[in-house]
Amino acid sequence: MSGSEFRPKGYEEHPELLPLSPDKRVYSSYTFWWMMFSMNTNIPMFFLGPIAFSQGLNPVQAAIGAFVGNLAATIVLILNGYVGLKYGIPYPVQLRASFGFKGVHIPVILRGIVGAGWFGVEAYGGSLAITMIALFALGVPREEILTLAYRVMVIALIFYIALAIIVMARGLRGIGIVASYGGPLLLLYFVWLLAFMARQEVAVEVPEGVPYTSPGFLTYLAVQTNWWATVALNISDLSRGLKADKRTVYLGLIGGPMVGIVIAQVLGTLLGYYLVLYTQAIYGEGIVAPQDIILVAAPGAVAVILGELFAFIAPFSTDVTANIPPIIDILTATAKLSLTGAAIGAGIIGFFLAPWWAVERGPDYVNYVTAFSANYGVLLGPIAGIMLGNYYVLLRGTLNLEKLYTYGREGYWYYGGFSVAAILSLILAIVTSYIYSWATGTLQYVGPLVFPNPLSWYIGVLSAFIYYLIFAKAFKEL
């Protein structure tokens, strides 16, 4: 049954939320591989090296943290993505089985808030790269660009946001086109740049490392895990576009994330780590942002312009594949906007969340990304645990498509459209993270805010999974 033939019961569904039939799928396994790779190969990925370095980790520890953290998130991503591929449904609809027809707004909004934050981070990075190109072309000395670009990049941000709106308004096909080219170019460029810097005769001192139970390593592990704990929830928004056949499950859905996210993240982290080592050895401390490294270290005008151009394309491709879709989910599923209207709304949100009002230099940008990405797992982990418990245990791997699109008691309605089991599990899993952190003395303070232990994503997944199965039986939501 195709999306155009499918008829929801008791309400009028938004066209973007209807199931995609096999003939409407637009992604091959090849496209999905490149989508995962390009989505992952972004400007913040190269901050992971500086983050590991700043926490005192050595290269081996940086690689281990990258592998463990991304593997955990990718397993959840694949399991959730299979539902989207099998049924052709997006994230908001997938959630109806676990949170109830109306209850989906809670996890959709929570995921959207995090996505909006990343949209702002990426938009800032891409706009900064555009600004550096413009100032360099105007003949501004490189050392002055390092300061001036951070002050005037808001102008380029407007251009960046407008371009993102145009791409998103085209839907899945527009995203696939952009995702095929962004990340690989930047990765290849940084490989070349590191090889160039490594040929210079400088003394590079590698940190000795830290204990694996230290706050430094755990914070770093949390950053690596939370990086793709985001898309691990709403991956169905993308996997539903995969052509539906058995080979695609293994080559596309499993192979794409394992190579494009897990392996690429390890390599990208090490690449960023050594770029910072050589940059600091040659040019001194304080140059840690990838855009700054390109500007200072790239040999010649062509290398600078190409590098900054790739530094624009990479975050842009990540925004349109990973960060803007969850915002559009909120605006289409909750606010009932059209796709074009939702794209415009997402652009406005991204503009105000880009830290042009808070960041004045490269190290500030790295610290901003670290503080943000290390702490939002407390919200996303419980949602993942509930989704997995619902589909793979309670429903035993089978969704009723008609119930997903039925408004009322014949659908996934539970109590007035809300799953009490899911909502209680979400709340209690968050509370559990805080209780554990308080008991172990690992609460974290960022200004006036208090965050739980860096491992809150893992605690949230496991505790919410258990809570949900217990409450679903207690409230008879089986």
Considering the domain boundaries, does residue 273 fall inside one?
A: yes
What's the pLDDT score for residue 175?
59
Tens digits of per-residue pLDDT, 344-364? 898 899 898 888 888 888 778
What's the pLDDT score for residue 99?
98
Tens digits of per-residue pLDDT, 91-137? 999 999 999 999 999 998 898 888 888 889 889 999 999 999 999 99
Read off the tokens for 65. Answer: 């943290």
Tens digits of per-residue pLDDT, 19-34? 998 888 888 888 888 7
Considering the domain boundaries, does residue 66 fall inside one?
A: yes
Could you give phi then psi for residue 387, rounded to 5 degrees?
Answer: -60, -45
CB distance 304 to 298 below 8 Å: yes
Considering the domain boundaries, does residue 13 fall inside one?
A: no
CB distance 402 to 408 below 8 Å: no
DSSP output for 406-462 = B-STTSS-TBTTB-HHHHHHHHHHHHHHHHHHHHHT--EEETTEEE--TTHHHHHHH
Q: What is the mean pLDDT of the chain?
A: 88
Helix and strand numbers (H, E) in the chain are: 25, 2
What's the pLDDT score for residue 177?
60
Average pLDDT over residues 435-456: 89
- Count, residues in the chain: 478
Considering the domain boundaries, does residue 263 fall inside one?
A: yes
Average pLDDT over residues 235-246: 87
What's the pLDDT score for residue 34?
79
pLDDT of 181 > 80? The answer is no
CA distances from 143 to 132, 140, 223 (A): 11, 8, 31
Considering the domain boundaries, does residue 167 fall inside one?
A: yes
Considering the domain boundaries, does residue 432 fall inside one?
A: no
CB distance 48 to 193 below 8 Å: no
Residue 398 burial by Cβ neighbours in a 10 Å radius (0-12, 13-18, 19+) = exposed
What's the pLDDT score for residue 184?
74
Considering the domain boundaries, does residue 50 fall inside one?
A: yes
Q: Which residue, chain included where needed, has tokens 């996997």?
A: 239
Average pLDDT over residues 361-368: 80
Average pLDDT over residues 190-200: 87
Find the Cα–Cα–Cα–Cα dihedral 226, 231, 233, 235, rounded to 10°. Answer: -160
Closest CA to 314 of 178, 133, 196, 168: 178
| Residue 450 bridge partners (DSSP) | 445
Average pLDDT over residues 156-184: 74
Grade residue 1 by pLDDT with cuts at 50, 70 and 90: very low
CB distance 35 to 190 below 8 Å: no
CA angle (182 as vertex; 15, 37 as ends), nearest 5: 80
List the CATH number of the domain containing 295. Answer: 1.10.4160.10
What's the pLDDT score for residue 2?
46
Closest CA to 39 of 193, 230, 275, 190: 230
Residue 69's domain spans which residues? 19-375
What's the pLDDT score for residue 313?
82
3-state secondary structure of 242: strand
Distant-in-sequence, close-in-space partners of 447: CB < 8 Å, separation ≥ 6: none
Read off the tokens for 174. Answer: 């527009």
What's the pLDDT score for residue 5?
61
CB distance 228 to 70 below 8 Å: yes
Percent of the chain whose pLDDT exceeds 70: 95
Distant-in-sequence, close-in-space partners of 350: CB < 8 Å, separation ≥ 6: 116, 119, 120, 123, 161, 164, 319, 323, 324, 327
What's the pLDDT score for residue 267?
92
Tens digits of per-residue pLDDT, 410-442? 999 999 999 999 999 999 999 999 999 999 998
CA distances from 374 to 185, 197, 444 (A): 27, 30, 10
Helical spans, DSSP H, in 47-95: 48-54, 59-87, 91-94
CA distances from 99 to 118, 132, 287, 290, 456 (A): 25, 46, 46, 40, 21
Q: How many domains does the chain have?
A: 1
Grade residue 179 by pLDDT with cuts at 50, 70 and 90: low
Grade residue 182 by pLDDT with cuts at 50, 70 and 90: low
Grade residue 386 by pLDDT with cuts at 50, 70 and 90: very high
Considering the domain boundaries, does residue 451 fall inside one?
A: no
What's the pLDDT score for residue 206?
87
CB distance 104 to 96 below 8 Å: yes
Tens digits of per-residue pLDDT, 249-292? 888 899 999 999 999 999 999 999 999 888 888 887 778 888 89
pLDDT of 476 > 60? The answer is yes
More confident residue, 293 or 466: 466
More confident residue, 242 or 184: 242
Grade residue 235 by pLDDT with cuts at 50, 70 and 90: very high
Distance between CA atoms of 300 and 102, rounded to whole angstroms? 57
Average pLDDT over residues 50-79: 95
Closest CA to 345 of 164, 157, 89: 164
